[in-house]
Chain A
């Protein structure tokens, strides 16, 4: 079982932000300055390769916080 902290670590690798940023489960994705289409693609790939889970663009649009993304793992 992946912990939310492990998930955040993977998330930060996947989005490849240029500027360091603090992320908690409650962080709102749209509040992250570099959350963009490239970061979204990185997260889709992360779910596929790291967790063997298929998510689509709509799943991301419906996810408000990091916790919402993490919850997709157990969907």
Chain B
């Protein structure tokens, strides 16, 4: 499908929630790895991350974000026509987390609720999915909940977050422009190979091996092909950004802020340099919040742009990219939207 336009959809608000628990990439790693970690941190740009305690899940963070957003918007629960969850850390394999949250949030039984399985590219796809329902006139108000519980102590990249975004029908809303793409030929670049139907869990998946640093590796660990992800991101994203802006009839100078998925500093700096964008228009939360998967765009908007967007109308370009492989760009105006400060839970 590629490029498309949605009309009559207003971005009404956003809330982001992260766990209170902070992990340091230097202090929370074995002493034998600390000198290596200093170099790693310089290059990935991630100093601290947030991690859920054992009893807290993505859905808990998203629930808190949604509660806060609904309260600040003063929306009646019965007004929410659709609730879409985009996550790769559902409460259960089945049923959908969105349906459980429909009840937990006290939304009506007439709410459309289901999950979508996307990771780092999730946010623009979610805006498009719900925006389409609204634009077509079939629903008026909707919530998009995006995020993951993906942090581990061992891995230096990933961090936990849950976010809620509210969209509503508004006849005079400025158009939203999208460019959404998929390349399944690259599906092996980021994957959890075990636990699905092609390779169900078996006893031998529970047997780890120990590497030269004493770190344990399990057969069901996430596979992440660094060079492939880097090449994909830095080759696909810049032309997609330029194509979306051209489709919207805009020059890059016309856009106030560019919010990219927070992958790591190497990837994000390369994308920024290729597009010749200055730092001040490309906010980053990598240093404090790491790579929060699909939540990284809303987390960055909440942490870095909340006050600017509350002050006056802004034109933003949002771009998510990653697992799938999948990449999506959205250009939208945000005017008078509700933006609670970052919630820690």
> Which residues from chain A sit less than 8 Å from chain B, CB to CB?
16-18, 34, 37-38, 40-42, 44-45, 48-49, 54, 56-57, 60
Contact = CB atoms under 8 A, between A and B. Distances in A.
Contact of A49 (B35, B39, B40, B273): B273
B295 to A, nearest CB: 24
Contact of B40 (A38, A57, A60): A38
A42 B43 contact: yes
Contacts of A40: 226-227
Contacts of B231: 44, 54, 56-57
Given A16-B43, A38-B39, A38-B40, A45 B226 contact: no
B87 to A, nearest CB: 27
Contact of B270 (A16, A18, A37, A48): A48
A42 B39 CA distance: 12
7 contacts: A16-B43, A45-B270, A48-B234, A48-B270, A48-B274, A54-B235, A57-B228
A18 B43 contact: no
B251 interface: no
A32 to B, nearest CB: 14
Contact of A45 (B35, B36, B42, B230): B230
Given A34-B39, A37-B227, A60-B227, 8 more contacts: A16-B43, A17-B39, A18-B39, A40-B227, A45-B266, A49-B270, A54-B231, A57-B225
A18 B35 contact: yes
B43 A41 contact: yes
Interchain residue pairs A-B with the least CB separation, the first 4: A57-B227, A45-B270, A37-B226, A56-B231
Contacts of B38: 18
Nearest to B44: A38
B274 A49 contact: yes
A42 B274 contact: no
B188 to A, nearest CB: 12
A56 B232 CA distance: 9
Interface string B246-282: 0000000000000000000010001001100000000
A20 to B, nearest CB: 13
A40 B43 CA distance: 12
A34 B38 CA distance: 13
A44 B43 contact: no
A16 B44 CA distance: 12
B39 A41 contact: no
Nearest to A37: B226
Contact of A16 (B35, B42, B230, B273): B42
Interface in B43-79: 43
A33 B228 CA distance: 23
A44 B227 contact: yes
Contacts of B266: 41-42, 45
A18 B36 CA distance: 8
B274 A41 contact: no
B288 to A, nearest CB: 21
